Amino acid sequence: MPTPDQIAQMTDGKGFIAALDQSGGSTPKALALYGIGEDAYGSEAEMFDLMHAMRSRIATAPAFTGDKVIAAILFEMTMDREIGGKPAAAYLWEDRRVVPFLKIDKGLAEAQDGVRMMKPIPGLSDLLDRAVAHGIFGTKERSVIDAANRAGIGAIVEQQFDLGAEVLAKGLVPILEPEVTISIADKAEAEAMLLDEILKYLDMLPDGRRVMLKLSLPSEAGLYAPLIAHPGVMRVVALSGGYSRDEACALLARNPGMIASFSRALTEGLSADQPDAAFNSAIGDAIEAIYRASVT
- Whole-angstrom CA distances from 242 to 176, 216, 224, 258 are 19, 10, 20, 18
Do 41 and 50 contact (CB within 8 A), yes or no?
yes
Identify whether 29 is a catalytic site residue.
no
Whether 214 is catalytic is: yes
Task: Out of 177, 179, 191, 197, pick the active-site residue.
Answer: 177
For 270-281, b where at least 16 C-beta lie within 10 A, e where not — what string? beeebeeeebbe
> Which of 103, 170, 187, 214 is labelled catalytic?
214
Distance CA 64, CA 43 (A): 30
* Helix, strand, or coil (residue 3): coil
Coil, helix or strand at residue 168: helix
Q: How many helices (H) and strands (E) does the chain have?
A: 13, 11
Catalytic residues: 177, 214
